[in-house]
Amino acid sequence: TTVEEERADLKTTVEEERADLKTTVEEERADLKTTVDSEMTNLKTSVEEEMADLKTTVESEMANLKTSVEEDMADLKSHHRGVMIVSGEEEAGEARCARVCAGTTGQDTT
């Protein structure tokens, strides 16, 4: 064989290897894209499920909190009696009215 034939054979071999490599890269790229797409779909589904679970939990906790606050308010209302006047320094006027003094001046100055 001559040098030209060997060069031509080598050129053909290199072109075949290049074509095979290009095909392999394209196949790997397609496989990788499929894998990434699948993983993204799985991740999206997982996030959506977690968000739905979280929403349900928050709604449940909010309902429990609302019930608890309503019960506490009802309990507080049942204990509300108002102010009862038991004695006074002046002659009694209206049974439900009295002057209330509060502050830091002390008892002797009011």
**106 versus 13: which is more confidently predicted?**
13
pTM of the model: 0.49
- Confidence grade of residue 13 (pLDDT, cut at 50, 70, 90): very high
Q: Give the tens place of pLDDT for each residue, 34-51.
A: 999 999 999 999 999 999
User: Count of H helices and E strands in the chain?
Assistant: 1, 0
The candidate with the shortest Cα–Cα distance to 36, out of 26, 25, 44, is: 44
As a whole number, the mean pLDDT across the chain is 84
Q: Give the tens place of pLDDT for each residue, 61-78.
A: 999 999 999 999 988 888
CB 88 within 8 A of CB 98: yes
At residue 97, the pLDDT reads 60
Residue 74: how many other CB atoms lie within 10 Å:
10
Cα–Cα distance list, 66 to 60, 69, 72, 74, 104 (Å): 10, 5, 10, 12, 40
